[in-house]
Amino acid sequence: MKVIRLPSLVLLPRILLLGAASMSCSGVPSDQRALVRADAEAFETVVRSEMIDSVKAASGFLRVDSRPAGDNAILTAAAEHPRGLDLNEAPDSISPTSLSRITEQRRDILNFLRVEEGQPVRYAGCGGTHTERLKDSSALLELPGCPSALRRYVNVGLPYRGAAPILTKIRRSEIPAPDSSDEHWTVLVTESSVGPGGENWRQYAWLFRRDRDTNRLLVAEKYLLSWAE
């Protein structure tokens, strides 16, 4: 399986050390600690990747929601957006202590990376990027109600333990299935962008695999699940 390597995670050692100590003292079960650790690793990897994408898109604005969404939650705050695809199974149950720890460590990561934390902003009257185009041109009209500059928002779902069943349906036949003996986590990442030409929305499934040599989660696969423009 091809593993996608992103910049090394420099914040994780401190976060994981502090988190493990506090959760161990509070008597949190090992499976919950594994979920919290996976979330920290996956979340930082996603945010770093989104920072690179924002630079490529010439966007000076990136906001990431620290709220740990469930696997089936789409936190875009726009009612007309279509529902994203489910992972076919309920997400791992999570205790209030673990949920609080995940939220805290996500905010620490965003603060360290100097990425704005918060929810997407709804722009009333700003339609999709394919709503209006100039006649006989691929150029977009500047739509009323849209911001003057591109703004990108990201939501990251709670890690789903294992390779989610939806991946089997969309993976090309020539790509081998993940090794079941490895530790895997699937994460839904929802991206929304809004600029002078309108809004667009994407939802991806990221599959992470625990590297046996480094003991870090690495991106193994990434798939576009649904979109709206």
Report the distance separating Cα 56 and Cα 51, nearest Å: 9
Report the distance separating Cα 138 and Cα 121, nearest Å: 27
pLDDT value of residue 75 = 33
In 3-state terms, what secondary structure has residue 30?
A: helix
In the chain, the largest separation of any two C-alpha atoms, in whole Å, equals 65
pLDDT value of residue 5 = 47
Q: Report the share of the chain in percent with pLDDT over 70.
A: 69
81-95, 167-181, 210-224: which is most confident: 210-224
What HEC string does 148-171 produce? Answer: CCCEEEEEEECCEECCCHHHHHHC
Question: In the chain, where are the structural domains located?
Answer: 12-228
In this prediction the pTM is 0.77
Average pLDDT for 155-183: 87
User: What is the average pLDDT score of the chain?
Assistant: 77
What values do phi and psi take at 165, rounded to 5?
A: -55, -30
pLDDT value of residue 95 = 81
User: Does the structure show a pLDDT above 80 at 90?
Assistant: no
**Which residue, 97, 101, 1, 113, is CA-closest to 62?**
113
In 3-state terms, what secondary structure has residue 225?
A: strand
User: Does the structure show a pLDDT above 80 at 49?
Assistant: yes
